[in-house]
C-alpha cells in the first residue's frame, strides 16, 4: 500500500448534517389562526450504492487456483466454500441472513442445468433483496482414462455454478472476473489484506479498543512534544496495519491527532497573545 493510501477513508453511508442555515429553511403550513408555522424539511441521506460491492469484491488468493480448459482457455477457479464464508461474514448464517433458491432445471445435451437466485438481508435497511436469476450447468458424465461414468455430483455442481454467478451480481470475487488477478502486484496486496484481516489485533473490536485508547492518551497531551511521543509509541505502525483492513478507522484515528495538534497550537497562540498584551 502506498503512503498516499494511509489517510484515505472508504466511502461510508452517512446522514447529511443540518447546518444552521439549512435548518432555517422550512416548509410553511397554516394554523387555525391563519399564521404560517415552520415545519422542518426531512433529512436527506446519501446512499453508498457501492457499499456491498466494495465489501465483497476482493478475493483471498488462497481461495483460488488457476485452471485450463480444452481449447487453451485459462482462468481462475474460486473455492465455493470461501464464497459461503464471505456471505456469512457479511450477512450472517445461510438461511437467516442470506440464502438461495432453485427456480427451474432442465437436461439438454447430456448436461444438467439449474436456474437459481440468491436472496440476502440488506445490512442497513434489513430489507430482503434478490439477485437476478442465473443458470449453472454441468456434464452428467465424467470421463476418466477414456471411460465414461455417471457423475453423482452434477446437480450440486450446477447449483454451485448458478449461485456463484448470482453472487457476482452483488460484487463477490469481482476482482477475479475483472482481470485484476492477472496483476501480480494486486495479488500481493490481496495476500497482505487477508493476512492482516486474520490478525486478532485487527478485528473490529480490537480496532475500536485501540481508538478509545488513543483518545484517552491524546486527552492527556499538553504540548506538541507529548503528541509526538504518543505517535512514536507504536501508533504510526499500528495505523498502517489498520489501514490494510479498515481505512475509515485509520482516517478517524489520524484525524484525532490532527484535531489535537490544532487545539494545542491554538492554545499556545492564545497564550502568546495574552503575554504580548
- Structurally, how many domains does the chain consist of? 2
Per-residue pLDDT at 237: 86
With respect to residue 165, please indicate whether it lies within any of the assigned structural domains.
yes
pLDDT bin (cut points 50, 70, 90) of residue 268 is: confident
Where is average pLDDT lowest: 7-16, 119-128, 208-217? 7-16
Per-residue pLDDT at 66: 87
Q: Which residues of 86-144 form beta strands (DSSP E)?
A: 98-108, 111-121, 128-130, 134-139, 141-144
With respect to residue 214, please indicate whether it lies within any of the assigned structural domains.
yes
Distance CA 105, CA 114 (A): 4
Per-residue pLDDT at 40: 52
With respect to residue 48, please indicate whether it lies within any of the assigned structural domains.
no
Percent of the chain with pLDDT over 70: 82
169-183 pLDDT, tens per residue?
999 999 999 999 889
pLDDT bin (cut points 50, 70, 90) of residue 146 is: confident
pLDDT bin (cut points 50, 70, 90) of residue 198 is: confident
Distance CA 120, CA 15 (A): 24
Point out the domain boundary residue: 144, 163, 194: 194
Percent of the chain with pLDDT over 90: 55
Distance CA 257, CA 136 (A): 52
User: Do 211 and 190 share a structural domain?
Assistant: no
Element (H, E) at 268: helix 247-276
pLDDT bin (cut points 50, 70, 90) of residue 223 is: very high
List Cβ neighbours of 265 (8 Å cut-off, separation of 6 or more). 224
List Cβ neighbours of 170 (8 Å cut-off, separation of 6 or more). 52, 53, 56, 118, 120, 131
Report residue 157 CA to chain centroid gap. 28
Q: Which of 119, 150, 116, 146 is CA-nearest to residue 133?
A: 116
CB 60 within 8 A of CB 82: yes
Range of the domain at 109: 53-194
User: With a threshold of 0.75, does the pTM exceed it?
Assistant: no
Q: What is the mean pLDDT of residues 66-70?
A: 79
User: Do 241 and 108 share a structural domain?
Assistant: no
- Asked whether residue 13 carries a pLDDT value surpassing 90, the answer given is no
Amino acid at each position: 500500500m502506498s503512503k498516499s493510501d494511509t489517510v484515505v477513508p472508504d466511502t461510508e453511508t452517512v446522514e447529511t448534517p443540518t447546518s444552521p442555515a439549512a435548518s432555517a429553511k422550512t416548509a410553511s403550513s397554516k394554523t387555525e389562526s391563519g399564521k404560517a408555522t415552520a415545519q422542518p424539511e426531512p433529512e436527506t441521506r446519501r446512499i453508498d450504492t457501492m457499499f456491498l460491492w466494495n465489501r465483497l469484491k476482493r478475493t483471498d488468493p488462497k481461495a483460488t487456483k488457476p485452471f485450463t480448459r480444452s481449447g487453451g482457455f485459462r482462468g481462475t477457479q474460486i473455492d465455493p466454500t470461501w464464497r459461503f464464508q464471505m456471505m456469512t461474514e457479511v450477512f450472517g448464517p445461510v438461511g437467516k441472513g442470506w440464502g438461495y433458491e432453485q427456480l427451474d432445471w432442465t437436461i439438454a445435451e447430456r448436461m444438467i442445468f439449474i436456474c437459481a437466485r440468491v436472496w440476502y438481508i440488506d445490512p442497513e435497511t434489513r430489507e430482503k433483496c434478490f439477485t437476478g436469476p442465473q443458470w449453472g450447468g454441468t456434464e452428467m458424465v465424467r470421463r476418466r482414462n477414456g471411460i465414461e461414468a455417471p457423475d453423482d455430483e452434477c446437480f450440486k455442481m450446477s447449483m454451485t455454478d448458478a449461485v456463484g454467478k448470482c453472487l457476482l451480481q452483488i460484487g463477490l470475487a469481482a476482482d477475479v472476473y475483472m482481470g485484476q488477478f492477472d496483476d501480480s502486484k494486486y495479488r500481493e496486496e490481496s495476500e497482505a489484506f487477508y493476512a492482516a484481516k486474520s490478525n486478532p489485533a485487527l478485528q473490529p473490536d480490537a480496532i475500536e479498543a485501540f481508538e478509545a485508547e488513543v483518545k484517552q492518551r491524546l486527552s492527556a497531551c499538553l504540548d506538541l512534544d507529548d503528541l509526538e511521543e504518543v505517535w512514536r509509541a507504536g501508533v504510526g505502525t499500528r495505523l498502517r496495519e489498520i489501514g490494510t483492513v479498515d481505512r475509515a478507522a485509520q482516517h478517524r484515528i489520524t484525524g484525532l491527532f490532527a484535531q489535537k495538534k490544532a487545539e494545542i497550537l491554538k492554545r499556545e497562540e492564545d497564550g502568546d497573545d495574552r503575554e504580548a498584551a
